[in-house]
Homo-oligomer: A and B are copies of this chain.
Amino acid sequence: MHATVAKQLPKNYKLVYDILRGAGHGVHFTMGEIYAHARRKRPAIGFSTVYRGIARLRDLGWIDEIELPGSGSAVYELKGRPHAHFRCERCGEVADVHYQLPARTVARLAARTGGRIGTAMVMLRGLCRRCSV
């Protein structure tokens, strides 16, 4: 994986990346949660550094930033294949859903709008299994 390149990252940014990588795919963190984890490993680290680390990793394409409509804050996860997200309106939990709009559908929509579609995101909202009981 990115190991060899990762070595060139400033150590604090690497620390941030390791938090996400350690959790694995499908685990989501808010900026605040990542900061909390980072402080546990390196108490003197500042919020700005974690923030800049996230920004760098996102720009490098190593992590995905998911903007949750209506939640006020974004969540981050290890870069993976495109997928949809489900957010429970009661507990706020965010779960990955293995689904993406068929390429054919996206192409059809692009033709209809006359522009170029870069990304298509699907956001599902409702009650998760636990909260819907």
Contacts and interface: CB of A to CB of B under 8 A. Distances in A.
Interface of A: 66-70, 84, 86, 88-89, 95, 97-99, 101, 105-106, 109-110, 112-129, 131-132
Contact of A67 (B69, B106, B124): B69
Please give the count of copies of this chain that the complex contains.
2
B119 A121 contact: no
Contacts of A109: 84, 86, 97, 99, 124
B69 A70 contact: no
B121 A115 contact: no
A121 B113 CA distance: 18
A112 B118 CA distance: 27
Given A67-B69, A68-B69, 11 more contacts: A67-B70, A86-B115, A86-B117, A97-B109, A115-B129, A116-B127, A117-B124, A119-B125, A120-B125, A122-B123, A123-B123
Contacts of A105: 99
B126 A110 contact: yes
B120 A122 contact: yes
